[in-house]
Structure 1
Amino acid sequence: MQLKDKVAIVTGSSLGIGKAIAKAFGREGAKVTVDYRSHPNEAKEAVEEIEKSGGRAIAVQADVSKPEDIKKLVGKTVEEFGRLDIMVNNAGIEEKKPFLETPLETWEKVIAVNLTGVWLCCQEAAKQMVSQGGGGRIINVSSIHEEITMPTNAPYCAAKGGLKMLMRTIAVELAPYGITVNNIGPGAIETPINQNLKENPDQMKQLLEEIPLGRIGQPEDVASVAVFLASDAASYVTGSTYFVDGGMMRQSGSL
């Protein structure tokens, strides 16, 4: 088991990529806090699935855009498991609108969750890791759109671009404490957020033409990279983004 006796928080882990990461961590021996904002039943199911595989888990409701919720999230994890070794910032939202029609409130909402929320989680987790000693791992689920454009999604792309430089900067600052910081940049992954693709064959065909490996990624494809970055095998890895996109970045026409 690569994560035996480690303690992890995975934000937004009641569904999709976050849930796959939480389950993978549990299978590898980690104690996992499943964070959710608005899907309590799914969070409970995630906890049950982790425990069925022999792991330990709790569910905590926390909105990552609220500082008091992040303090609660980290506090309850430490209260339950005694420490915090791994912080995975996965929670995110997007609202697609043409740039000229995007209201300020949409910008503020997306930035609050996708960038400010990650800032808050990184800082609170790092404070705990520094105080307890022994280093730690911070892993942010970013996107290929920290590098390539996505018209009608400017706030999301701006947040992911900011996340790239946040990761790079705090990786340097936190290195003296033995804390590594890395991003995972998924491409097209089959999650509830893009279920509509299955109902639109033409759009799916267009998307697959952009992916050299010719398939949509699965949440488990991202989870396996997260396990690596959280493990001792990645102890000399920090300040980088690992793209999980089937080669999409090398061929994409800015979908």
Structure 2
Amino acid sequence: MRLPITPSASLRGKRAIVTGAGRGIGLACSAALAAAGAAVTLVARSIGEIEQAAAAIRATGTPAEAAVLDVSDLAAVSAFFAERPAFDVLVNNAGTNRPKPMQEVEEADYDAVLDINLKASFFVAQAAARRMIAEGLSGSLIHMSSQMGHVGGPNRALYCASKWAIEGMSKSFALDLAPYAIRSNTIAPTFIETPLTRPYFEDAVFKAAVLAKIKLGRIGQVEDLMGPVVFLAGAGSALMTGTSLIVDGGWTAD
């Protein structure tokens, strides 16, 4: 009897790019893809943290480079991808948040959140996909969404708007790009402890409210997203497109 062969989890020979890669989730995704064998390009607006991270990855024997790019500068995004060979994997991770009640949101808040979380993500993915298509390369687009792209939350009107939009955007990308064997999926985490979110958890009331919703009873850690990003980047998810991996400890199951 010939047994089925489990698809390889290796990303050796693949090129991956991660935006917002200097810390937190982006850094973890970069480390995970590198550990699976991918050559990783770490992108952020400033060089300091991503150069340190790239050096740490190179020290493990895996190629990595740091590249400065402001993903909100669409001309720079277009030029960046046009000047490089196609990437096999994009992790669309750069994002921001301005939590406040909807009645207090100003136009500047709206523009800040939607321009980075949605507009920049759209055109980064477009530029990456165009290069994949031009080179006849199948690939994987992975967009960092949120559980808030599946439910609502107090003081999260802008964030929810951007992440629900990311979910719909990714589904449409999946349909447009399927003829080219390019897949598009999201990862939708719960609250993850990062340098950005850690100060929120110093508020005992807020932390208790979050833990009450996470049925597994703990705040998410960046390591919780490392397996999912490698899975969506590789052969194990070859028939997955237009869907979302919800990594929320049961928040949205309620």
TM-score band, normalised by shorter chain: over 0.9
1:44-86 superposed Cα distances (whole Å, 9 cap, x missing partner): 111012112221111111111211221243245x2xxx43111
| Distance apart, 1:198 and its partner CA | 4.2
- Which residue of the other structure, out of 22, 28, 45, is the alignment partner of 1:37? 45
1:26 Cα shift? 0.8
Deviations 1:203-249 (A, max 9, x none): 32232121111111111211210100000111111000110111111
Gaps of 5+ in 1: none
Structure 2: any 5+ residue segments left out of the alignment? 1-8
Residue 7 of structure 1 aligns with which residue?
15
Q: Which aligned runs of 4 or more in structure 1 are off by greater than 6 angstroms? A: none
Measured after TM superposition, the shift of residue 103 of structure 1 is: 0.9
Q: Alignment partner for residue 195 of structure 2, among 183, 187, 192? A: 192
Q: Which residue of 1 aligns with 2:4?
A: none
Superposed, 1:78-97 pairs within 5 Å as: 78=84, 82-97=85-100
CA deviations on 1:109-168 (whole Å, 9 max, x unpaired) are: 111100001110111000000011131110000001111112222111111111111100
SS of 1:123 mapped into structure 2:
helix
1:200 CA displacement = 2.7
Aligned equivalents of 1:83, 1:117: Cα separation in 2 = 19
Q: CA RMSD in A?
A: 1.4
Aligned residues: 246
Q: Which digits, 9 at most, give the CA deviation of each residue in 1:6-45, with x for residues without a partner?
A: 001100010100100001111111111101114x221111
Structure 2: distance between partners of 1:71 and 1:60: 14
The equivalent residue for 2:80 is 73
Contact 2:20/2:43, CA 8 A, preserved across alignment = yes
CA distance in 2, matches of 1:198, 1:162: 27
Q: Check 1:176–1:35 CA distance in 2 against 1; reply closer, same or farther (3 A cut).
A: same
* Aligned residue among 62, 65, 70 for 2:69: 62
Looking at structure 2, the residues matched to 188 and 17 of structure 1 have their Cα atoms a distance apart, in angstroms, of 11
